[in-house]
Structure 1
Amino acid sequence: MLTAVFSLTGALVFGAADFLGGLAAKRISALLATAVAALSGVVLLLLALPLLGGEWTAHDVLWGAISGVVGCIGIALLYACLAIGPMSILSPTTAVVSAIVPVLYGLVVGGERFGPIGYWGLGLALVAVVLVGFVPERGAVRPSLRGILMAVGSGAAIGGFYIAIDQTSDESGIVPLILNRGVNAALMFAAVAIVAVVAAARARRVRAVVDAGAVTRPSAGLTADASGGRMPRAARPALAAGIRLAVACGVVDATANALLLFGIRAGDLSIAAVLGAMYPAGTILLAALVLRERIAPVQWAGLVLALAAAAMLALA
């Protein structure tokens, strides 16, 4: 019962985080959005550590760090594909893959077994996730091949995060999540720095060409950028808005991950993972309300099936 409650609640909160992350990635780069979100998340978790507690052991620190590397790949791909859009299809695609990977691990490697209602609930949940992302109407927006491949890769990595975090002990509390967010932030800021260095080097080469043209052919009207490479004033509001959205995303994402961690520890990995995969519901509803993206009738049916599956899994 607790697994179903924690996991489904965490999924809805996670969907809101994905929506905020997708909006942030439209205003700033997906790398920067992920880095800022991870940093704000680890700050929140560190503040919550005295309240929630947790033991620091080499085993839990290692698996927390591994989950951070895998999760970093998954979340970066997720935000990037959500920025491409449409959110209402790519988010559920990621969710299906992210559910299948840990379910197979739990059943094959972990030896998890359920009663008949449990297996029916797992199957119904996967169907629900597929229906939520299915848009059959004529003229509906279809995702690009690039977006689909990124969504599948993201789902596989997120599934790996579930498996890695499941290896940690109950006594570790939220310590693995702190390592997860910390490693995520370090990797993403390193990636941002590399991209910035490459961009700066490219800009210097362009200015060198422009300066050479201005000296040898003054009539061409080619001059160096008067801004000195600084960000145009018009772009600053978008950057500030993107940063704010990324910070909010990190806070919401850390909360969702804590709920999902509690769900995993309260019961079976398979149940927690498949219910956690319901997060597209939150993303889709917010996308419909804020971005006016269309929700097809079959998607509403998927949401109803998702609730039914959650009830069946709560009884499993």
Structure 2
Amino acid sequence: MITAVLGLLGALVYGSADFLGGLASRRISPLRVTAIGAVTGLAALLVALPFFGGVWSAAAIGWGVLSGVTGAIAISLLYACLAIGPMSILSPLTALISAIVPTTWGLLGGETFEPSGYVAIGIALVAVVLVGFVPEKGAVRPSLRGILMAIGSGAMIGAFLIIIDQTPDDSGLVPLVFNRGVNGAIMFAVVGVLAFVARRRGTTSQTPGWRPGLMLAVACGLVDTAANILLLVGIRLGDLTVMSVLTALYPAGTILLAAIVLKERVAPVQRVGLALAVSAAGMLAIA
């Protein structure tokens, strides 16, 4: 039951981070938001590390570094595929793949459930698609490039979940510290290269609203770090399969905040997805 609760809560927190990141990206570039969020998260983890503790081992550091690399690739592919669009198809495809990859890994690794648990996982996977589906008027069919990027992003998110599951139980927050450090280094390197190229081409421009964007990016980093901690604790207490499927429901948090803060309409299909998600979480808690 604890795992199901942490998984659903983690999804809502991840979705909240995406909401903040989306607002920040309207003011500064998505890559800058990601880089700032990574550094902010790293600072928060370094402050929390003495309180949570953790053994510094080669395994903890190695898996943490690898998770940082996969995370950076996943985010880059995600932004790229959503930029190509249509988001209504590519976003739920990414979330679905991010659930299927670690779920398959967990089941092949010997994780088992009661029959109702497998039914709940199936319901949750359907909910992932419905929750992430945002109807777009006149949406075009996705290109092969967009589909491949969405699949690649989902696979890398799934790989991140599998890698976090490999971290030693006594490592505490150590893997997340290296995850954030590597992720931030990669993203700042990318931002730096793009800024250098833009300056050489004479296309550098002042970004309006950078201060509000900076604050939102900082908030995004803090909230995303909290979600990572929930994910880490949930995986260590329970099953990778349950956590990966429920975490893939992260669009629910974004949808709810958008409805509350921005007064955006929640589509009927998304309401069905949210109801299925809660039902699946309850079934998994019992199973």
TM-score, normalised to structure 2, is 0.91
Structure 2 counterpart SS, 1:27: coil
Q: Which amino acid aligns with 1:46?
A: L
Name which of structure 1's ranges 138-147 and 293-302 shifts more when overlaid on structure 2.
Answer: 138-147
Residues 121, 280 of structure 2: 8 Å contact kept? yes
1:264-300 superposed Cα distances (whole Å, 9 cap, x missing partner):
1111110110011111101122233444543221210
Deviation at 1:26, TM superposition (A): 2.6
Structure number with greater Rg is 1
Q: What number of residue pairs does the alignment pair up?
A: 286
Q: Whole-Å Cα distance in 2 between the matches of residues 131 and 178 of structure 1? A: 34
Superimposed CA distance per residue, residues 109-160 of structure 1 (whole angstroms, 9 cap, x where no aligned partner): x121111011011111001111223356x83766854665543322111111
SS, match of residue 133 in structure 2:
coil
What does 1:154-173 align with in structure 2 at a 5 Å threshold? 154-173=153-172
Paired with 1:193 and 1:183, the residues of 2 have a C-alpha distance of: 15
**1: distance between equivalents of 2:150 and 2:101?**
14
Q: Distance in 1 between matches of 2:22 and 2:87?
A: 8
Calculate percent identity across the aligned residue pairs.
62
Distance 1:121 1:88, change over 3 A: same
Residue in structure 2 matched with residue 124 of structure 1 by the alignment:
123
1:179 and 2:178 aligned: yes
Alpha-carbon offset, residue 199 of structure 1: 1.3
Equivalent in the alignment of 2:218: 247
* Paired position in structure 2 for 1:297: 268
Instruction: Output the TM-score relative to the length of structure 1.
Output: 0.83
- Please state how far the C-alpha of 1:78 moved relative to its aligned partner: 3.1
Q: Is the 8 A contact 2:89 2:142 kept in 1?
A: no
Residue aligned with 1:195, SS: helix
The CA RMSD over aligned residues, in Å, is: 2.3
Q: What is aligned with 1:60?
A: 60
- Unaligned 5+ runs, structure 1: 207-228
2:246 alignment counterpart: 275
Which residue in 2 is equivalent to 1:261? 232
Q: Determine the structure 2 residue equivalent to 1:214.
A: none
Alpha-carbon distance between aligned partners in 1 of 2:111 and 2:95, rounded to the nearest angstrom: 21
Listed as ranges, the gaps of 5+ residues in structure 2 are: none
State the 1:198 CA deviation.
1.2
Instruction: Give the distance between the partners of 2:198 and 2:251, measured in 1 at CA.
Output: 34
Aligned mates of 1:144, 1:84 — CA distance in 2: 8
d(CA) in 1 for partners of 2:274 and 2:78?
21
SS at 2:26 equivalent: helix
CA drift of 1:105 comes to 0.8
User: What per-residue deviation string (whole Å, max 9, x for no partner) do you get for residues 139-194 of structure 1?
Assistant: 37668546655433221111110011111111001111111111000111111111
SS in 2 for 1:199: helix
User: What's the secondary structure of 2:47's corresponding residue?
Assistant: helix
Report what 1:219 is aligned to.
Answer: none
Question: Given residue 309 of structure 1, which amino acid in structure 2 is its aligned partner?
Answer: A
Change (3 A) 1:180 1:155: same
Query: Does the CA-based 8 Å contact 2:86-2:142 persist in structure 1?
Result: no
The question of whether the paired residues in 2 share the 8 Å contact of 1:22 and 1:79 is answered with no
Aligned letter for 2:114? G
**Residue deviations 1:22-44, cap 9 Å, x none?**
22223222221111010000101
Name which of structure 1's ranges 187-196 and 71-80 shifts more when overlaid on structure 2.
71-80
Distance 1:43 1:180 in 2: 12
- The change in CA–CA distance for 1:250 and 1:116 in structure 2 (over 3 A counts) is same
Matches within 5 A, 1:56-95: 56-79=56-79, 90-95=90-95
1:30-73, Cα deviation, whole Å (9 max, x unpaired): 22111101000010111111111111000111001000000111
Deviation at 1:92, TM superposition (A): 3.1
Q: Supply the distance in 2 between the matched residues of 1:121 and 1:63 (Cα, whole angstroms).
A: 30
The AA in structure 2 aligned to 1:139 is K
Q: Deviations over 1:198-240 (max 9, x none)?
A: 111112xx8xxxxxxxxxxxxxxxxxxxxxx6x54xx44x222
* Contact preservation (8 Å) 1:44, 1:251: yes
CA distance in 2, matches of 1:57, 1:83: 39
Letter of the 1:7 counterpart = G
